[in-house]
Structure 1
Amino acid sequence: MFEFRKRSTIQRKKIRLRVLVALVFVLGCFGLLIDRLWVLQVERYQGLAERADRNRIALVPIAPRRGDIVDRNGMVLARSYRDYTLEIVPAQVKNLDELITQISAVIPLTPLDIRRFKRRMGQTTRYASVMLRGNLTDDEAAVFAAHSFRFPDVNLRARWVREYPQGESAAHVVGYVGRISERDQERLEQDGVEGNYRGTDVIGKKGIEASYEAVLHGKTGWEEVEVAASGKPVQVLKRIDPIPGDTLHLSIDMGLQKMVEDLYSKGFVKEGMPERGALVALDPRNGQVLAYVSAPSYDPNLFIDGIDVENWRRLADSPEHPLIDRPVSGTFPIGSTYKPFVALAALKLGVRDPNARIPDPGYFEYGNQRFRNAGGAAYGPTNMHRALVVSSDTYFFSLGPLIGVDALHDFSQLFGFGRKTGIDLDYEKIGILPSREWKKKAFKDPRQQRWIPGETISVAVGQGYNSFTIMQLAQATSTLAADGKYIRPHLVSELENTVNKTRTPTVKQPDYQIPVSQASIRLVKDALVDVTRRGTARRSFAGAAYDSAGKTGTAQVFSLKGSKYNSRNLKRNLWDHALYMGFAPANEPKIAVALIVENGGWGASIAAPIARKVFDYWLSPKRSAQVDSVPVLELDSDEPAEDTSPDVMVPQDVPANPEDKAPEHLPDILAPVGNGSGRNGAEQRQNNE
């Protein structure tokens, strides 16, 4: 009996102990839970609440509408329109090829669409949204929306798309946009504007599209969107509307532009055979660019979503080099069109009385070398006026040593030669305006670094080491027409704010006045007027309803070494370049022109007639372009005694100006293979960076 009670007491104690331990354990657990709730609900409430809101609210960027580009008369050169796209996040799709096949049964997909899609996949992460097909019509978008339940991993979205209605016309002016590359992204981050490009796929790559990117792009808008746990948007909580980019009003006149482009496309030497060259027309009164032609051209619409490799090869491998922006990126010797500025330098420095008659027996002797006039012509006693009218090489040969290459360099720079003119385009080349210092830097061989006095003689007639852009020649011509007033040339005349419709001019006043007397300018101008009346351009301007001033030029591309130039015995790529510079009307100039026809022949026969048509168009009351005839050179006729000497120096392998080595953009080139890898895929992508 006693033993039984003892065991019962021990069991009760064990049970109480177990209950006590269990109670302590339960209380401890509740204590930990309460402590954790305290931390989450009190101590960390603010941070966790913000994180919860971020999980619930998504910030969605709204891409702004890119600004339009129009000519001086309102003709649209570039615009943006809304279209629909199909986009896929590759990481969300198990069988991508099967999905594409299913989509193609609903919405047409071309092989080019698939190549572009796979190329874009290789350029981004698997978790980024990649466009499969763009430019869906309203009907196609409606059809896909009706079948969207079958494709939960495919998004139908709207976007802004760039379009260039004029095609090849003025393509080098307008440029084009392309997809934002890694290099573009790095530049945006360096400039601290990457946030303004969220939701934007493209950026200006060339031309005005690139140089005015900051004002064309606009300002990105934002939406605060409430998102469900499934990731689907529920409602818009807040919206900041995007601000569209400014509209750019160019000074270009598309009527004049297309008329000149048509002339180049029809050919001058042989009708129907397009010519290579460049033409720039400026308004001397305000620096506005009236025409900007680079021939041949290209269609910028090819580059918007990436150019296919076939079209890229056609453009990049063409011997005509249509992708080169010739007015600012091509450099050439300008021949006798340089003589008016050499004459002004002589007058400014006082090295010769302009009325002094200098013997011209048909040649100029310097040291033991004889430099002859073009065609062996001998003009007898010649003053400065007559030397410009007949384009006497001998007269200007003799000016070279008197002026000196360094003094000529310093004076010519004032007119825009040998430096950037300031036009609102990227990658403008400086070219070569030779001097002693330039030659020391240009050549590594000490024997080539020494300036030879005879080289100045060739420089004085626009040959030798001279290598200028047509933009520089046009700017110098415009400055001369404006009596020495230098006004920076510009393509964009006004920026129009698309919200409040206010317009802001880009250039308001001249940069500076060249310190040369008006009497000297008047003397040179009068001589250039007589060039069109009785000089080398008289036939081209016969019967014109206005007086104009100008100068023909013929620049050699290889040294004749004393022999006679004869185009019939040469390949076309060895023919001389044909040039012309001039302005009209002569007394109150409204337009100044500089142009080149590469390997065209002679300035008087080929280039001057183009300038005549430009002046006729611009000065006519209605400005109607009737290109009813194309100047054709009769090769069987006698070759004119043009302004090119058989003895001028045409150097070979001249080093380019190191400041002209600006990086050129390579577009997004679509590989011809479907998988976007291998030699034509990964290596092509690497080469495009």
Structure 2
Amino acid sequence: MLQRKVTIKNPFRELAYYQSRVFVAFFIIIALMAGLLFWVANLQVFHYENYRTRSDANRIRVRPVAPTRGLIYDRNGVILAENRSVYSLELIPEQVDDIDETLSQLKELLQLDDDDIERFHKEKRYTRRERFKKIPIKQKLTEKQVALFAVNRFRFKGVSVEARLVRYYPYGSVLVHALGYVGRINDREKARIDAANYKATHHIGKVGLEKHYESILHGTIGSRVVEVDVHERVLRTLSEQTPQNGVDLHLSLDVELQLAAEKALAGRRGVIVALDPANGDVLALVSNPGYNPNLFVTGISSKDYNKLLKSQDRPLFNRALRGQYSPGSTIKPHMAWLGLTSGMITPSYTVEDPGFFMLPNDERRYRDWKKLGHGKRIGYKQAIAQSCDTFFYDLAVRLGIDRIHPSMSKFGFGQLTGIDMGEEVPGLMPSRDWKRGARRAPWYPGETVIIGIGQGYWTATPLQIANSAAVIANDGKRYQLRLVNSQEANGVKTFMAPQLAEQQIDIGDGQHFDLIKKAMKEVNHGLRGSAREAFRDAPYESAGKTGTVQLVGYSQDEEYDKTKVAQNLHDNALYIGYAPYEKPQIAVAIVLENAGGGGSNAAPVARKVMDFYLESKPQKNKEPNT
């Protein structure tokens, strides 16, 4: 039987093994600690600034703060354009993995429409290089929509509901052609603005005053440094730079007069311009039809925009600023003054009016509006009061286009009024040189005949026509027109410098101007004045001139029958005037498209406007602003 071999333990060897293991373990621990210390040093010392910045970026946000847009008031402190708080649904593209899926879910949850989604994608294209910028999906959320989103907010990373101030126009379409409106910034506008100053702004002035004064209405952007949690909720504000709010504008417009003028138009297509002849202030500016500017602020639907765009009434067109109408017989006082002051006629000069005028050696008859004429001895006074065409055909030929053009230009025809709105057109005061350059043709005598009654190539805007009436009321002084009287910033109101006369027509001793004014008084108050019915029993004296502009031509033997003419080719009705006669406080121009006679249609509108301003308004509102 074999005996089993017993191994005796060697404590010294075991101790040696143990010590070697401890040494290796200790070395590993030291190495790991060294590596950890090195990594900590790397983070905390060598790359401290870099990692601190990256860490802060996870919890700290620098958010631009939009300035509050300046308000717009009328001359009596009535607010015309304000800012209202609304809830806006907004998305940050950088924080959303699948934008289309997110929009689809939001559309279903909040009942968004296709126009909302389309506007978002359009805005996203405008801001494609600013992926951290919040882009509005829908503005003016209802309380129900806000509550629905709040409950489901956890589902939509990168989407939030923000309280925003948006432009609101309390008078809607009544003032749209004077104020203009703001809308979303597009690519063309983005290229010309200071992008840094518009980081928190989605809107910009598009037309009118809103566009012309954009640089001061907008203000200067501010910023806020905030700490956020993982859901982008603000935990606290670390620092803030206050934005500089936009400047408030105070206008010369009287909104009550504006409303009265709108009412006087009674829905007809046309323009009313009312001025203070003493300084060029615009008291009312109505272009009808208008449109609701509030639709454009938050984004108008394609359906509504196409409806406006395709309307035959052209509501988007600012007739006061850009409408080019033949001034018609409203220029007869100006022509008569030129005839008297140039010596081409005398106060006693008369013509025979058989109902037409003929040039020497020309068989064409230039017809008077009155078929059988006004009689044998028609002077300038009767010609203005009764609007005799034949007298002014004769006068125009005597004067000649080379004298008419520069003289009528002094009244502002063919020139910008300089109104602070932008986009104004100058109209056309034709001349021999103009026709040679524009039409490559000579000037014909028959064209001078037609110029005598404000037709032919001669076109003017209602602003120019109104200003030409103010020039007569103001004894030859022509002012640059303006809408803004003062600006207000930080509670300090700064008045605009008093308007200086842009031009003073040389009227000599004023005798001929006085004769013209008396003739215009006969238009409104004379026994045979063309506006006598409109101003019958008026509690004040005034001066005016009616006009009727034919839009289609007829052969010499053909009679005008409006029942056989398309409505949009019926005559335009015009009127200019001022009141009171002795100390004018208001000058007006009325243009009614396709309305017919100026005396029967435009003059009654002017009477309503003058009545309201002179009789219904407190005296303090009629004092000129300086």
User: Normalized against structure 1, the TM-score is what?
Assistant: 0.77
Q: Which residue of 2 aligns with 1:470?
A: 462
Conserved? CA contact 2:224–2:241, under 8 Å: yes
Residue identity in the other structure for 1:185: K
Matches within 5 A, 1:434-449: 434-443=430-439, 446=440, 449=441
In 2, distance between residues paired with 1:313 and 1:403? 49
SS of equivalent residue, structure 2 residue 173: coil
Query: Deviation of residue 401 (structure 1)?
Result: 2.3
Please state if 1:218 is matched with 2:219.
yes
Find the partner of 2:287 among 294, 317, 322: 294
Runs of 5+ consecutive residues of structure 1 not aligned to the other structure: 1-29, 266-273, 625-689
Superposed CA RMSD in Å reads 3.2
Find the partner of 1:456 among 448, 454, 457: 448
Bigger mean CA deviation after superposition, 365-374 or 315-324: 365-374
Conserved? CA contact 2:280–2:499, under 8 Å: no
Please state if 1:501 is matched with 2:492.
yes
Q: Which residue of 1 aligns with 2:535?
A: 541
Q: Which residue of 2 aligns with 1:557?
A: 551
Find the partner of 2:116 among 107, 113, 118: 113
Conserved? CA contact 1:116–1:132, under 8 Å: yes
Q: Which residue of 1 aligns with 2:74?
A: 71
Residue identity in the other structure for 2:395: L
Change (3 A) 1:41 1:365: same
In 2, distance between residues paired with 1:399 and 1:600? 28
Query: Deviation of residue 312 (structure 1)?
Result: 1.0
Matches within 5 A, 1:186-335: 186-188=191-193, 193-225=194-226, 235-265=236-266, 274-335=267-328
In 2, distance between residues paired with 1:146 and 1:46? 39
In 2, distance between residues paired with 1:102 and 1:575? 55
In 2, distance between residues paired with 1:413 and 1:371? 25
Change (3 A) 1:509 1:242: same
Find the partner of 1:351 among 336, 344, 361: 344
In 1, distance between residues paired with 2:265 and 2:360? 43
Residue identity in the other structure for 1:241: T
In 2, distance between residues paired with 1:554 and 1:623? 34
Bigger mean CA deviation after superposition, 137-146 or 390-399: 137-146
Query: What's the CA shift string for 1:398-423, capped at 9, x where partnerless?
Result: 11122221321111111111010011
SS of equivalent residue, structure 2 residue 283: strand
Query: Deviation of residue 143 (structure 1)?
Result: 5.7
Change (3 A) 1:401 1:600: same
Find the partner of 1:393 among 389, 392, 396: 389
Conserved? CA contact 2:478–2:502, under 8 Å: yes
SS of equivalent residue, structure 2 residue 486: strand
Query: Deviation of residue 571 (structure 1)?
Result: 2.0
Conserved? CA contact 2:332–2:452, under 8 Å: yes
Q: Which residue of 2 aligns with 1:656?
A: none
Residue identity in the other structure for 1:475: N
Query: What's the CA shift string for 1:553-611, capped at 9, x where partnerless?
Result: 01111112323222233221221111101011111111111111111111111111111
Change (3 A) 1:574 1:110: closer
Query: Deviation of residue 473 (structure 1)?
Result: 0.2
Residue identity in the other structure for 1:401: V
Conserved? CA contact 1:424–1:490, under 8 Å: yes
Find the partner of 1:489 among 462, 465, 481: 481
Matches within 5 A, 1:335-346: 335-346=328-339
Find the partner of 2:597 among 602, 618, 622: 602
In 2, distance between residues paired with 1:131 and 1:124? 11
Residue identity in the other structure for 1:466: W
Residue identity in the other structure for 1:87: E
Find the partner of 1:431 among 427, 430, 438: 427
Q: Which residue of 1 aligns with 2:366?
A: 371
Residue identity in the other structure for 1:372: R
Please state if 1:526 is matched with 2:529.
no
Query: Deviation of residue 47 (structure 1)?
Result: 9.7
Residue identity in the other structure for 1:407: R
Find the partner of 1:511 among 502, 507, 515: 502
Q: Which residue of 2 aligns with 1:415?
A: 411
SS of equivalent residue, structure 1 residue 385: helix
Query: Deviation of residue 102 (structure 1)?
Result: 4.5
Conserved? CA contact 1:492–1:506, under 8 Å: no
SS of equivalent residue, structure 2 residue 375: coil
Please state if 1:135 is matched with 2:114.
no
Bigger mean CA deviation after superposition, 88-97 or 449-458: 88-97
- Identical positions, percent: 40
Q: Which residue of 1 aligns with 2:164?
A: 159
Residue identity in the other structure for 2:218: H
In 2, distance between residues paired with 1:215 and 1:543? 47
Residue identity in the other structure for 1:109: L
Residue identity in the other structure for 1:156: V
Conserved? CA contact 1:379–1:392, under 8 Å: no
Bigger mean CA deviation after superposition, 205-214 or 140-149: 140-149
In 1, distance between residues paired with 2:79 and 2:369? 47
In 1, distance between residues paired with 2:198 and 2:270? 37
Residue identity in the other structure for 1:153: G
Query: Deviation of residue 124 (structure 1)?
Result: 3.8
Residue identity in the other structure for 1:348: T
In 2, distance between residues paired with 1:388 and 1:552? 9
SS of equivalent residue, structure 2 residue 412: coil
Query: Quick check: which has more Rg, 1 or 2?
Result: 2
SS of equivalent residue, structure 1 residue 400: helix
Change (3 A) 1:398 1:528: same
Residue identity in the other structure for 2:561: N
In 2, distance between residues paired with 1:252 and 1:567? 37
SS of equivalent residue, structure 1 residue 545: coil
Query: Deviation of residue 100 (structure 1)?
Result: 3.9
Residue identity in the other structure for 2:71: D
Conserved? CA contact 1:550–1:581, under 8 Å: yes
SS of equivalent residue, structure 1 residue 346: helix
Query: Deviation of residue 59 (structure 1)?
Result: 3.7
Matches within 5 A, 1:174-185: 174-185=179-190
Residue identity in the other structure for 2:285: Y
SS of equivalent residue, structure 1 residue 511: strand
Query: Deviation of residue 308 (structure 1)?
Result: 1.0
Runs of 5+ consecutive residues of structure 2 not aligned to the other structure: 1-33, 620-626
Find the partner of 1:579 among 563, 574, 577: 574
Q: Which residue of 2 aligns with 1:92?
A: 95
In 1, distance between residues paired with 2:265 and 2:607? 14
In 2, distance between residues paired with 1:601 and 1:47? 78
In 1, distance between residues paired with 2:232 and 2:608? 64
In 2, distance between residues paired with 1:431 and 1:417? 7
Residue identity in the other structure for 2:385: V
Residue identity in the other structure for 1:184: E
Query: What's the CA shift string for 1:487-523, capped at 9, x where partnerless?
Result: 21112222122x1232323644332322123212111
Residue identity in the other structure for 1:516: I
Query: Deviation of residue 344 (structure 1)?
Result: 1.9
Conserved? CA contact 2:410–2:503, under 8 Å: no
Conserved? CA contact 2:575–2:589, under 8 Å: yes
In 1, distance between residues paired with 2:230 and 2:303? 47
Conserved? CA contact 1:223–1:240, under 8 Å: yes
Q: Which residue of 1 aligns with 2:20?
A: none
Bigger mean CA deviation after superposition, 194-203 or 350-359: 350-359
Query: What's the CA shift string for 1:254-285, capped at 9, x where partnerless?
Result: 222222222323xxxxxxxx421111011111
In 2, distance between residues paired with 1:253 and 1:235? 46
